[in-house]
With several copies, the nearest count.
Chain A
Amino acid sequence: MKLAVFVSDFKLTYDTLDRLKADKLGIIFVANGVYHATTKENGEASSLLNKTLNLYALSEDIQTRGMKDADVDKRVRVVNYSDVVDLIFNEYDKLAWI
């Protein structure tokens, strides 16, 4: 399956994402999830950035929090709402919000 997972929080109490397998996995950082893409903890980037090559972060939610697209880890593609719609319909067939 081609699965896009929306990550909406920074600190997660779930390990579901660690165990999930998909032929194509995308992670879309939204809401406070964008901190995974912008913020290091004790100098270390979020381990989620190693889960897949298909990483996206929502520009509107980065800017809402006072950060800039330039603050985003190089591995992550900055997208807007319109891009998210295209990802949903064109790149993935199943969606999960965690």
Chain B
Amino acid sequence: MGDVKLAFVVQKPQYKGETSRLAITHAIAYQTVEILLEDGDTVTPTLCFVGEGVLGLQKGQKAMDLYEVTSTETHLKNCLLVDLDVLVCKEDLAKYGISEDMMPDAEDMGADKKIKVAPFSEIQKAMEDAKHILFF
């Protein structure tokens, strides 16, 4: 079957329910799925944030200090480290006044990959290109 492309679309905000956080950790799991697949088979998620899903992506999160729980920021950095494509909806960031430089990167951990601010049309395209769509 070769590669199967997936679009993970996160529309619920972080720190409300578990869903939007689990979207990220499930996407990261693509890295270890090969142990359960035939040789040559892969799964490639594209992680997209839209609507209220773009909230909770800002850097400087003190979740571990204050609540002893891994921050979304840390999870996002891990995504970049394992080379996942992360798209954040440009229109929705503008709507909430969140600029690109307010979001984290993982340069300090050696990741080249960066969060990509993308128009909704590009997220729509990711959904069209994917075999399956998963809404979180």
Contacts and interface: CB of A to CB of B under 8 A. Distances in A.
B71 interface: yes
Interface of A: 1, 3, 9-11, 13-16, 19-21, 31-32, 35, 39-43, 60, 63-68, 94-98
Interface string B33-52: 00000000000000000111
Interface stretch (B23-31, B62-70, B79-87, B106-114): B62-70
Question: Taking chain A's interface residues, is the majority helix, strand, or loop, or is none over half, making it mixed?
Answer: loop
A80 B65 CA distance: 15
Contacts of A64: 15, 61-63, 66-67, 71
B2 interface: no
B135 A63 contact: no
B16 A31 contact: yes
Given A63-B61, A63-B66, A64-B71, 6 more contacts: A31-B16, A39-B96, A42-B95, A64-B15, A64-B62, A96-B135
